[in-house]
Chain A
């Protein structure tokens, strides 16, 4: 199975700050990488797909980049509603796998 390693495990950011979350795949995944945000008691919500495509309705302060085995999610201008846990997911090879999650809090 492809292992997805996220870092950091948790971070806190001030209002308006820019943060980045990294996701490292154990083998190349050809940009078949999605990012999700999950808030407490809710289901995950799609933010980014194919590494850098923004899902409809997602604020433009979210952006994704990367290639090969290394990918990142950037959140510019941190807002209170951005608090939550972020997961990456590879859809390159079955079984599809997720990263361990990054908890983002407002400082």
Chain B
């Protein structure tokens, strides 16, 4: 059965780097893309970036130079690293899956809440 699960620190200090892991099961990272989507509390959703099935990446220009997405296919994990965190980066971070050529998310992780505060 398809599962995605985010993990990472719940609290990050301002100006520090956020590191999150999305561990997937039930499908292969070489067949599906994994995306990161952020949601500020009580607000809408914001697409951050994508790890394609071939290992390429795409990013939302709103996060350019701060965001990096990588993966370890042997561990079925996709990683998010974002530096220079500010309080406005507080929110819930989700990883979600799309199939190649399909432009919608069919499975989502449960999300991980991240608070940026000193």
Contact = CB atoms under 8 A, between A and B. Distances in A.
B111 A95 contact: no
A26 to B, nearest CB: 15
Interface residues of A, number: 23
A100 B20 CA distance: 25
Nearest to B60: A95
B62 A95 contact: yes
Nearest to B61: A95
A42 B111 CA distance: 8
A89 interface: yes
Contacts of A67: none
**SS of A interface (majority):** loop
Interface in B61-104: 61-62, 94, 96, 102-104
Contact of A45 (B45, B46, B102, B108): B108
22 contacts: A32-B103, A34-B105, A43-B94, A43-B108, A44-B45, A44-B105, A45-B108, A46-B106, A49-B102, A49-B104, A87-B44, A89-B104, A89-B105, A91-B104, A92-B103, A95-B47, A95-B62, A96-B47, A96-B103, A99-B44, A100-B44, A101-B43
Contact of A98 (B44, B61, B106, B108): B44
A43 B110 contact: yes
B58 interface: yes
Interface of B: 43-47, 58, 60-62, 94, 96, 102-106, 108-111
Q: Which 3 A-B pairs have the closest CB atoms?
A: A91-B103, A34-B104, A43-B108
A49 to B, nearest CB: 4
A88 B109 CA distance: 18
A45 B111 CA distance: 13
A66 B47 CA distance: 23
Contacts of A101: 43-44
Given A32-B103, A42-B110, A44-B45, 9 more contacts: A43-B109, A43-B111, A44-B105, A50-B104, A55-B106, A87-B44, A92-B103, A94-B60, A99-B44
